[in-house]
Amino acid sequence: MKILGKFPSTRLRRTRKKDWVRRLVSENNLSTDDLILPIFIRDGKNKIEKIKTMPGINRYSIDKVNKVVENACKKKIPLIALFPYTPNKKKNNIGTEALNEDNLVCKALRSIKKNFNEIGVMCDVALDPYTNHGHDGILKDQDVHNDKTLEILKKQSLLQAQMGCDIIAPSDMMDGRVGVIRKILDKNNFEDTKILSYAVKYASNFYGPFRDAVGSNKKLKGNKKSYQMDFKNCNEALREVGFDIKEGADMVMVKPGMPYLDIIKLIKDNFKIPVFSYQVSGEYSLIKNGIKNKLINNEAILESLISFKRAGSSAIITYFALEIADKIKNN
């Protein structure tokens, strides 16, 4: 591949001189089709509650969620992701509430599916919003027990599919979960329900604001290093993705986002499967606070999102989805 020319006949600045020519030669772009909007839901009626650690982001009671979804539809955002803030009294050590067909996620799914059919809904599969210890699975001898957890996760997945969930997104990092989930879905005639595996989820320090948002932060005992990946590793990411594809994943996710652009690219180059990225809560709040404090300007949002596209992402879960959708339209 010949990419070099010679100065002065070759001047790379020539194609940077004006906005129209920059637009003409741009290699990547962001469209609203690339966006996934996360929505936090809470109990009660007529409630819109600010999340302190995530400026500009709220928790909505189910009657208020429809307005947000309507807004997302209007902006042509293809997919929303639901995250519940479960009241403390409904949490226990095995996360039973995850299997309650009247839990927040199930109620929201029914309501959204009744009112909208042009937007997809994805739901996390993991127990952390429901356990009183904040871990994603069932504890045994102070560690999350893989196979006992799988038993609940597959039931949680089936329930969400029955409630109308379009994309089941296991975020728990148990071994073998994609396989058992695919199997139970297929056995119950949900062969078209998709699986987006959080295949590469690192034990990250960027999840703090999210854990506040779903109320698991103060509860979390210890850390999640015995199941989420070590941030020193990348070969292991390939093994995770390889297994999940074999087990039936339709799409895979890399999480967090910006510190892991190399991983997104590595996976895209090695497996020709849709790769999604998750610009997580810590990344969001850092950028948002930077803008608020005038350390960086607003364009940093677009820059951060384009970096995922450059790395090879098909879509991005981002708390900036609504905000940036307006901007893209105006461009």
Choice from 160, 193, 281, 304 touching ligand PBG (CB under 6 A): 281
Nearest to 203 by CA among 180, 178, 152, 237: 237
Using the rule CB under 6 A, is 211 a contact of ligand PBG? yes
Distance from the Cα of residue 140 to its chain's centroid: 28
Nearer to ligand PBG, 128 or 166 (CB): 128
**CB 124 → ligand PBG: shortest distance, Å?**
5
Nearer to ligand PBG, 59 or 187 (CB): 59
Burial class (CB in 10 A: 0-12, 13-18, 19+), 191: exposed
Give the Cα separation of 118 and 132 in Å (integer). 36
* Residues of span 118-157 touching ligand PBG by CB under 6 A: 124, 126, 128, 136
Nearest to 171 by CA among 208, 123, 215: 123
Site string for ligand PBG, 222-261 (x = CB under 6 A): --x-------------------------------------
> Mind telling me the catalytic residues?
201, 255
Site string for ligand PBG, 153-192 (x = CB under 6 A): ------------------x---------------------
Helix (H, G, I), strand (E, B) or coil at 331: coil
**CB 107 → ligand PBG: shortest distance, Å?**
19
Buried b or exposed e, range 147-160, using 16+ CB within 10 angstroms = eebbebbbebbbbb
**CB 228 → ligand PBG: shortest distance, Å?**
6
**CB 264 → ligand PBG: shortest distance, Å?**
16
Nearer to ligand PBG, 225 or 292 (CB): 225
Give the Cα separation of 287 and 283 in Å (integer). 6
What size, in residues, is the chain?
331
Give the Cα separation of 91 and 131 in Å (integer). 5
Binding site for ligand PBG (CB under 6 A): 124, 126, 128, 136, 171, 207, 210-211, 224, 280-281
